[in-house]
Amino acid sequence: MITLKSDRELAAMEKSGEIIAGMHQELRKIIKPGVSTWAIEEFGRNYIEGHGGRAAQIGFEGFKYATTISVNNEVAHAFPRKDLILKDGDLVKVDTVVDLDGAYSDSAWSYAVGNVSPEVQRLMDVTHEALYLGIDQAQVGNRLGDIGAVINDFVENQNGYGNVRDYIGHGIGPTMHEEPAVPHYGVAGRGLRLKPGMTITIEPMVNMGGYEVETSTEDGWTVTTADGSWSAQYEHVVAITNDGPKILTSQDPEFDAKYLL
């Protein structure tokens, strides 16, 4: 079911998104060589709960943690680990969902640990730009295929990376995952037409190599690239409005000025 949000509901989701944004802003100071991914988990959970939110991933389909923390060739959904210590040059992705009094927000971000190689920095830059190219297509009257088509063309045709297909964006609020499904590939002009009040996540996952991924048979959660190449991801919650797409999880009001409610 697709729910269309009122102005009041969008404002509530934006408040939820402010918690995630604040957490990510603080993680820029926390994530550095020598830090365990468990320390990131503890910080994230404490930040969310300390600001009145609930870490909504805990208990979702049996998941035990407030965050997923995926390193290098791990694409998504990896567990935080006490024995995984970040080192200089690593690429770490942190994803979480916040429930603030029934208003949901969801955001993943990629972080360079110390000094990353030019190749890794380029992967991050392309993935970040792909996110915003997708957001620009989240216009009233456009179709879901317009979002996916522009992302896939930029990632694969223009930059030669693998655009993950097995995991996609989704509607959000009043539940964590709802319709519509939001692929990061597709055909322009095809798919569901976007309407005011819809709220969706746009969250491209981009691999240095091929787009194929595998899920761990040991824990049933951790997704890695099939070819061992490294992967990056960025994610925002976006509201479809008559005034254009509005980011509800913005970390940088100056950069996102035209996308704010």
Question: Amino acid letter at 75?
Answer: V
125's tokens: 């830059």
Q: What one-letter code names the amino acid at 50?
A: G
* Structure tokens given for 123: 């992967």
Are 91 and 71 a contacting pair, CB within 8 Å?
yes
| Side chain identity, residue 189 | G
Tokens representing 49 are 């709960």
Query: Position of tokens 């819809």?
Result: 198
Q: How many CB atoms lie within 10 A of CB 247?
A: 27
77 is in an annotated binding site: yes
Chain centroid to Cα 199, Å, comes to 14
Neighbouring-strand partners of residue 134: none
Answer yes or no: are the C-beta atoms of 114 and 32 closer than 8 Å. yes
3-state secondary structure of 88: coil
- Whether 177 has a binding-site annotation, put simply, is yes
Tokens 């002009």, residue located: 189
Torsion (CA) 49, 56, 58, 236 in degrees, nearest 10 = -100
Say if residue 176 is exposed, middle or buried (CB neighbours under 10 Å; 0-12, 13-18, 19+): middle
Residue 203, marked binder: yes
**Annotated binding site, which residues?**
77, 95, 106, 170, 177, 203, 235
- Binding residues for a divalent metal cation, by number, are 95, 106, 170, 203, 235
Binding residues for substrate: 77, 177
